[in-house]
Amino acid sequence: MAERKIKVLLSKLGLDVHNRGVITVAKMLRDAGMEVIYLGNALPEEILGIAIQEHVDVIGVSSLGGAHITLGMDLIGDAVKEGIKDKTVFIIGGVFSIEDEGRLKEIGFDGVYTAVATRDEITASIKDLVSAKAVK
């Protein structure tokens, strides 16, 4: 049986203007055979609304503007309320301090990526995270 395509929703978190990274990731995930929806700039509420409607496996957000902790907490907090935190993989990419990388994981992001991450690392890690959630 053919494997179902991993479905990913990507978005810029809030008003951050920098989208080179997230577009690169969108293209690389699509090239790696995943189905990608790119939302552009959005707030947590909108991101979760679309994610639920589209039944995505992965929600990925990008933040290079410094608001990753505040908006990241909102996203994960709302996801818990909506009951999709355990069913969906949450990933975040951007410019973070080392301490904040740790905090983002504590908040509940399954994957945290910075500019260092290569294409292969990102795609492999998303596949792993998706299968780990599916097993649960």
Partner 1 sequence: MEKEKARTKVILDSRVKNENPVPLYNSKALQDIESNYTALKKKYTEGDKKQPWSVTPKTILGSEIPRDMLYTPLNAPESDYSFDIGMPGSEPFTRGIHPNMYRGKKFTMRQINGYGGPEDTNLRIKYMLEHGGTGISVIHDLPTTQMYDSDDPISKGQVGMSGVAIDSADDMEILFKDVPIDKITVSLVTHYPSNTAILFPMYLAAAERRGLKPETLRGSVQNDITLEEVVRSGPEYIPPKDCFRIQCDNIEYIKNNVPYFNFNTLNGYNLHEFGTSGVTEMAVAVSNAIESLDEMIKRGYEVDWIAERLAFFWSISSDFFEEVARIRAVRRLWYRIMKYRFGAKSPRAMWMRCHVQTSGISLVREEPLNNLIRAAIQSLSAVFGGVQSLHVDSYDEAYSVPTEEAALLSLRTQQIIQEETAVTEVVDPLGGSFYVEALTNDIEKRILDEVDEIEKIGGYVASIEKGWIHNKIANYFYREKELIDKGEIKFVGSNVYKSEDKKPSIEVFRYPEGVQERQKAKLAKLRMNRDNEKVTEALSALEDACRKNTNIIPFSLECARHGCSVGEIFKVFKKAFGLWKPPALW
Binding site for partner 1 (CB under 8 A): 12, 14-20, 22-24, 26-28, 30, 38, 40-43, 65-67, 70-71, 74, 95-99, 114-116, 118-120
Closest contact distance (angstroms) between CB of 133 and partner 1 is 26
Closest contact distance (angstroms) between CB of 17 and partner 1 is 5
For the beta carbon of residue 27, count every other beta carbon within 10 angstroms.
13
Taking the least distance from each CB to partner 1, the nearer of 78 and 133 is 78
DSSP 58-106: EEEEEE-SS-HHHHHHHHHHHHHHHT-TTTSEEEEEE---HHHHHHHHH
Taking the least distance from each CB to partner 1, the nearer of 5 and 87 is 5
Taking the least distance from each CB to partner 1, the nearer of 16 and 110 is 16
Closest contact distance (angstroms) between CB of 136 and partner 1 is 28
Whether the CB-CB separation of 1 and 52 falls below 8 Å is answered with no
Distance (Å, whole) CA 57 – CA 129:
10
Q: Where are the beta strands (DSSP E) in 1-136?
A: 7-13, 35-42, 58-63, 89-94, 111-113
Taking the least distance from each CB to partner 1, the nearer of 49 and 131 is 49
Closest contact distance (angstroms) between CB of 88 and partner 1 is 22
